[in-house]
Amino acid sequence: MKNKTIKILSTLNDKGKRLDIFLSENLADFTRSNIKKMINSEKVKINNTITSSQSKKITEGDTIKIEVKEIEDIKLTPSKGKIDIIFEDDDLVIVNKPQGMVVHPGAGNKSNTLVNILIGNYGKELSNLGGVIRPGIVHRIDKDTSGLLVIAKNNLSHASLGKQFSEHTISRKYMALIWGVLRPLKGSIKTFITRSKKNRQMMTASEIKGKEAVTHYNTLKVYSKEYIPKISLIEFELETGRTHQIRVHMKYKGTSIIGDKQYRKKNNQFKKIDKNLVK
């Protein structure tokens, strides 16, 4: 293993936040327990000063540095699994990730991921800017989400793609089926998104704190004859990329994505709905 330093710059929206909450919102790959250990073991600096206080308050413009151990000696197992390639050239590959597939190895899943298949197909012909366990990976989508992923074949394309994602010059669109109908049928949802106080594994929409989140949506079709209750097919375009953004914004609008067990409304129970459809 070797040490790696992660650097984060706080903004006006972060002013007054506890250090542990701030890090939880910005380090999606780390649990609250991991973050607590890093702070207690003096691996966190605020403006180059080590702090061991989880409740330390953040101010606008703070530079927070976190020293983490990067795994170098992990051995990725190549897989001969097939991937759905949509486009490929000398610099990148665009693959269609199926629902249920994890993007890269993690705790409890070190062999059945997209990265294992990429290694099996491309070997070392992938960028290494993402680290040892994320060769070629520029961005991710959730395990239960299907969709297109851009894979970098070299470091130059990885850096260029990363900059485009960071500067929001890449257009990302998603489609999902939701319960009911959104009003208006086309529009934008603008809130802040912050970590839920009730469940630290979930996010929640807020009018006053968190990170700004903007979701543009368009209703493609409303199914009102075959199904009870109504179901809508929605196209989403993200202006920002916050954790669970679409799911949080659907809950904010009083509905949820069909099949979303984490953010669904508790009263989404229907007496007349077909049992096969629910399944």
Question: Hey, which residues are catalytic here?
Answer: 142
Residue in this structure with the two tokens 């366990």, named with its chain if needed: 133
The CA-to-CA distance between both ends of the chain, in Å, stands at 44
Q: How far apart are CA 233 and CA 131, in angstroms?
A: 37
Taking CA atoms, 85 is separated from 49, 127, 146, in Å, by: 47, 18, 14
Q: Where are the beta strands (DSSP E) in the chain?
A: 2-9, 44-46, 49-50, 63-70, 84-88, 92-97, 147-152, 172-179, 186-195, 203-206, 211-223, 231-238
Convert 20-62 into a string of H (helix), E (strand) and C (coil).
HHHHHHHCCCCCHHHHHHHHHCCCEEECCEECCCCCCECCCCC
137 Cβ contact partners less than 8 Å away, ≥ 6 residues apart: 103, 104, 115, 130, 149, 151, 152
- Beta carbons of 55 and 18 less than 8 angstroms apart: yes
Q: Between the CA atoms of 194, 137, 76 and 124, what dihedral angle is there, to the nearest 10 degrees?
A: -160
Q: How many residues does the chain have?
A: 279
